[in-house]
Amino acid sequence: MNNENNFEKYAAIKKQIADLEAEAKALQPAIIEFLINNNEKLQLNCGEFGFRKTKKWTYPEYIKQYEEFIEAFIEPHKAKLEGKKKEAELNGEAKVEITQTLVFKAPKP
């Protein structure tokens, strides 16, 4: 019996955590927009808020195919692939997506 209660309690806690994480995630866009339009950092009694920009590259199809070929058959050519990626980044063939991620630091007790 006691074990079953532990499992149920654990499952309920995990659901609460997931629900709270979803609620916090829903607040992030408004907070990030506020930070962008104001100071980019905000210190409150509950902690410090800020955001960081993250780059996510989308490469042209020929580079994706080249990467698959190298991964499947020719491991030593990985350095050449990275060079081709960097070349595509520099010459504008690769597309970059920059996302903004909320950064929160809780105050130290």
pLDDT in tens, 10-48: 888 988 998 999 999 999 999 999 998 997 888 889 999
Element (H, E) at 31: helix 2-37
Strand partners of residue 98: 55
Please tell me the predicted confidence (pLDDT) of residue 58.
94
Which is higher by pLDDT, 96 or 79? Answer: 96
Name the pTM for this structure.
0.54
- In degrees and rounded to multiples of 5, residue 51 shows phi and psi of -150, 160
Domain ranges of the chain: 2-105
Structural tokens at position 101:
């991620």
C-beta atoms surrounding 93 within 10 Å: 14
- The residue count for the chain: 109
| 44-93 confidence digits (pLDDT tens) | 899 999 988 889 999 999 999 988 888 887 777 788 889 999 999 999 99
